[in-house]
Amino acid sequence: MHRKHLNSYKIYITLILTSIILSGCWDVMEVNDLAIVIATGIDQIEDEQIEVTFLLYVPNPSGAASGEVSGSSKNSYSISMTGDTFSDAVMKLESEVPREIFWGHSNIFIFGSELAKKELGKQIDFLVRTAEPREQSQIYISQDKAKVEVDKFISINTAELFSKLPKSRYLKSITLKDIEEMLVNNSQAGLVPISDTNSIKTSADTIDSFAVKGSAIIYQGKMISSISGEKDIGSQWLLFPKTNTPINITPDAKNGKVSAETIKKSTKVTPLIEDKTWSIKIKVKTDLLILQNSTSLDIYNPTVMNQLKKEFSKKIKADIEEFINHIQKDLKADVLQFYEAFHRSYPKETDDVKENWEEQFENIKVSIQVEVKIKNPGVTNLNIENK
């Protein structure tokens, strides 16, 4: 009898444990019940309304939304919603789409330039306040309207494109986490890549590709300017250490150019306060790969190699100086986080000038030292120019 009761208890315990294990799947979401956000564009339109354009992947095409559908390709749809705020437009989307909105694969957020100039920080607040968008999502500012770019993404293999963006050695990358830190630090300044799309003609069709063209300078939650050319290249040496930076030089008294790209680069910033003079020493180290030599120089000659190192160093220093002079004198925006650098070494002195940091930042003396190593002059010593 005792054994019979014991067996009954074992059965009850087994049933209870089984029910606990099974309950772990009570909130599972089936893929076919989801509308997956791949990319999002945010614009400001008339009456200060916010227009949000969503690129959705819908596993079953029959579940499309009843909102404004701009286009579709297979299971991808571009849908625009308007609201008083970013979050308002998202809630309207959720009420329009008969599926659960899933942000887990949201790889990119693009803000229109007009919105970025007025209230970028206010709209970013929604993304950092809610737990759903990924911290590693890429942030860009569109040259024009973000809606135009997102609509074009339908014709691009978006899944492949956006998975490769953070890994690209040639595209500058700013994440949601980066811009959150940028907006709350003491400098309240930073750079965000400017995005665009290029139309490429093929024998059969015209396709669109994603491109980055310059950088937007953000200060106090707004886009205050943009840079391109040498200024933008100068910023890459200091703010985008993982991005391959192109560099071209014309050696003295020689026709043609020598082109290279970075294999590796690093930057060290050293602040100093001496006799009430504030200064920053920036040391840049880089290893270069020679891509092309259209001069008559024999780059395997040690003397020529040393000359090229000096020329590359001179060019890098000039680009950095042009960028720093622009942000210091013209914009007074501390995108290089000099405040944070000084505060780590001189907390009291930095706190004393916190209220007048713009003026202090403008007067900081900056010295730049560049160390170049040419790690790879190319796989051949053939000089076509001399033939």
d(CA 110, CA 153): 12
d(CA 305, CA 292): 14
Among 95, 112, 109, smallest CA distance to 148 is for 112
Identify whether residues 103 and 126 lie together within a single domain: yes
Confidence (pLDDT) at 335 = 96
At position 376, the amino acid (one-letter code) is N
Confidence (pLDDT) at 65 = 47
The shares of helix, strand and coil residues in the chain, as percent rounded to the nearest 5, are 40, 35, 25
Domain range for 55 is 32-227
| Spatial CB neighbours of 263, under 8 Å, sequence gap ≥ 6 | 286, 287, 288, 289, 375, 376
B/e letters for 40-49, b = 16+ CB within 10 Å, e = fewer, are: bbbbbeeeee
Confidence (pLDDT) at 382 = 59
SS3 state of residue 196: strand
d(CA 220, CA 244): 29
In-domain check, residue 255: yes
Identify whether residues 175 and 59 lie together within a single domain: yes
Identify whether residues 278 and 215 lie together within a single domain: no
In-domain check, residue 103: yes
Tokens for 128, please give them. 């950092």
Three-class DSSP labels, 44-87: ECHHHCEEEEEEEECCCHHHCCCCEEEEEECCEEEEEEEECCHH
In-domain check, residue 43: yes
Is 107 buried (19+), middle (13-18) or exposed (0-12) by CB count in 10 A? buried
Q: What is the pLDDT along the chain (387 residues), one digit of tens a residue?
A: 555 555 666 666 666 666 555 555 555 556 677 888 888 999 999 888 999 999 988 776 554 444 454 444 567 788 899 999 999 999 998 888 877 888 887 888 999 999 999 999 999 999 888 867 788 888 999 988 999 888 887 766 655 566 566 566 667 889 999 999 998 889 999 999 998 877 777 666 766 777 888 999 999 999 999 999 889 999 999 998 888 888 999 987 667 899 999 999 999 999 999 999 999 999 999 999 999 998 888 888 999 999 999 999 999 999 999 999 999 999 999 999 999 999 999 999 999 999 999 999 999 999 999 999 998 787 666 565 555
Identify whether residues 220 and 251 lie together within a single domain: no
Identify whether residues 222 and 236 lie together within a single domain: no
Identify whether residues 275 and 138 lie together within a single domain: no
| Spatial CB neighbours of 146, under 8 Å, sequence gap ≥ 6 | 41, 42, 43, 53, 110, 111, 112, 115
B/e letters for 299-314, b = 16+ CB within 10 Å, e = fewer, are: beeeebeebbbebbbe
Question: Could you read off the pLDDT of 251-289 as tens digits, one per residue?
Answer: 876 678 999 999 999 999 999 999 999 999 999 999 999
pTM value surpassing 0.75? yes
In-domain check, residue 11: no
Question: Could you read off the pLDDT of 299-328 as tens digits, one per residue?
Answer: 889 999 999 999 999 999 999 999 999 999
Confidence (pLDDT) at 221 = 94
Question: Could you read off the pLDDT of 223-242 as tens digits, one per residue?
Answer: 999 999 889 999 999 998 88
- Of the three residues 227, 252, 273, the one that is the final residue of a domain is 227
Looking at the structure of the chain, the number of domains it has is 2
Is 116 buried (19+), middle (13-18) or exposed (0-12) by CB count in 10 A? buried
Identify whether residues 134 and 247 lie together within a single domain: no
Identify whether residues 80 and 148 lie together within a single domain: yes
At position 139, the amino acid (one-letter code) is I
